[in-house]
Amino acid sequence: MARRALLGALAGAVLGAAAARAAYAAFTRRPPLGDAGTWERTNHRGEPITLLEGPAFAAGAGAAAGALPPLPARVRAAALRAMAGGGGFGAYDDLYGVTSSKGFRGHLSALAKGEVTSGAVKILGIGATGLAAAALTSRSVLDTAVGGALVAGGANLANLFDLRPGRAIKAGLIAGVPLAAAAVVRDEPVPAALAGLTLGAAAALLPEDLGERAMLGDAGANALGALLGLAATSALGRPGRLAVLGTVVALTAASEKISFTKVIAGNPVLNRIDMLGRRPVEQAPGHR
């Protein structure tokens, strides 16, 4: 019976959820790096919304990773590096980013011309911390490269979904639940706990996201994707990691040409999942 892994996943989910909710409550009372206005933005409806959900996710997931017993020291350090890279560089882009260049290709093209955009800083920073995280959990140079690409690619991909309420978290849950389940079936407590804490922290903040009171922003979405990428490196063998990395690369490349929002809206199943728990598009402000 896969009891150890199941207990690890459950403990991670509970601790991640509790820490994320506590961090969100603390940050809404006393925001980091400024006041509430520093983190206020306008959502897709043109209504004000806070980005404090992102730092709350990163802080909550980081606290859970630091305290969760099933995680050995190297995995704990790797999780903190991935979270700090995704959350820290994401927060930098949230607070100081400009929109003159968009997309992965746009930022790298600007960098090739000598223009260092905030997005390029984020790409390079998350890439470096992703490699640093993967180096702690890998046995070869190839595995480190694949793991680092998964952490960084996952961070970027999750951010591409953070365009509508709850979408990035739902995508994270859809990707993370199979990772946790596979680890439980194989009775592997470490990847089960790592996936569990990520899912717990994300699920705990989903009501704020769906209610359009807050959103992950770059800080939260990048941290979510980075931790899921690290969980994949821990839960999967090399063929599985390569398959997931190929999917991440393909979706990232597709995002440069097509709109995920249009694709989701045009597919009945995806649209139903996307709208689950959300305020109807035509509903007036103030009603949820």
From the centroid of its chain, how far is CA 108? 21
The residues spanned by each domain of the chain are 3-275
pTM for the structure as a whole: 0.90
pLDDT computed for residue 120 by the predictor: 77
Whether the CB-CB separation of 179 and 191 falls below 8 Å is answered with: yes
Separation between Cα atoms, residue 265 and residue 271, nearest integer Å: 5
The runs of H, that is alpha helices, within 113-188 are 118-137, 141-160, 167-185
pLDDT computed for residue 245 by the predictor: 96
What phi-psi label fits residue 71: left (phi over 0), alpha (psi between -120 and 50 degrees) or beta? beta
Q: State whether residue 49 is helix, strand or coil.
A: strand
Q: What is the pLDDT along the chain (288 residues), one digit of tens a residue?
A: 478 899 999 999 999 999 999 999 999 999 998 888 899 998 888 889 999 999 999 999 999 999 988 899 999 999 999 999 999 999 998 998 766 556 556 556 666 666 667 777 888 899 999 999 999 998 899 999 999 999 999 999 999 999 999 999 999 999 999 999 999 999 999 999 999 999 999 999 999 999 999 999 999 999 999 999 999 999 999 999 999 999 999 999 998 889 999 999 999 999 999 999 998 866 544 443
Separation between Cα atoms, residue 146 and residue 134, nearest integer Å: 8
Whether the CB-CB separation of 47 and 285 falls below 8 Å is answered with: yes
